[in-house]
Amino acid sequence: MAETASAPEGAPESEETRRDFLLISTVAVGAVGTALAAWPFIDNMNPSKDVLALASTEINLAPIEEGQSITVVWRGKPVFVRRRTAKEIATAKTDDGATLKDRATDASRVQKAEWLVLVGICTHLGCIPLGQKAGDPRGEFGGWFCPCHGSHYDSSGRIRKGPAPKNLEVPPYKFLTDTSIRIG
Ligand code: FES
């Protein structure tokens, strides 16, 4: 009787194990490959340390005198903080009744009438308006003037004349004490 060649004992099991191993390796490499490929995107979505550090900005208001403005940087944007004079406050309140392109009362734009806090970016095409430094033109309404295309903002940061469609934005902020605020 002819002897049939038989596989060495355990061969089928080895073949199967080898196949399984190859399959598992492929899946594992695929998974690692996907994870590695995704990492730059995932990592990209995390804010960098310097951005996190500037997520909020605290400002000591004590050195700012009446009529003075300062500019601070918050999340890469200029923020204007102006300590308004009594006259500027009175004008801003009176102008609540004026014809306003982007209607808002002065009271809705400040937490304390003396302090006006605004993102210093023109709402037309993003220039930084003038009016922060002594001697800067403040436009026809005593607030800020954007020379790029001639937008005039009043002493509440509301758009009054020119192509800008919106008032200067009021960022989120809160008073920590009577003389300090945190923006963001
Ligand atoms: S960017 Fe300010 S008026 Fe155009």
The string of pLDDT tens digits covering residues 55-94 is 899 999 999 999 999 999 999 999 999 999 999 999 999 9
What pLDDT is attached to residue 34?
44
Are 90 and 62 part of one and the same domain?
A: yes
Please state, rounded to an integer, the average pLDDT across all residues of the chain. Answer: 83
Pocket probe mutation, ligand 1, options 122, 159, 160, max atoms within 8 Å of Cβ: 122
Are 41 and 66 part of one and the same domain?
A: no
The string of pLDDT tens digits covering residues 118-127 is 999 999 999 9
Rounded to two decimals, the pTM is 0.73
Are 116 and 167 part of one and the same domain?
A: yes
The predicted model gives 123-134 an average pLDDT of 97
Distance 129 CA to ligand 1 centre (A): 8
What pLDDT is attached to residue 53?
52
The boundaries of the domain holding residue 21 are 11-46
Overall number of domains in the chain: 2
Catalytic (active-site) positions: 149
What is the distance between the alpha carbons of residues 178 and 25, in angstroms, rounded to a whole number? 64
Residue 90 lies inside a defined structural domain of this protein: yes
- Ligand 1: residues within 6 Å at CB? 122, 124-127, 146, 148-151, 162-164
Residue 3 lies inside a defined structural domain of this protein: no
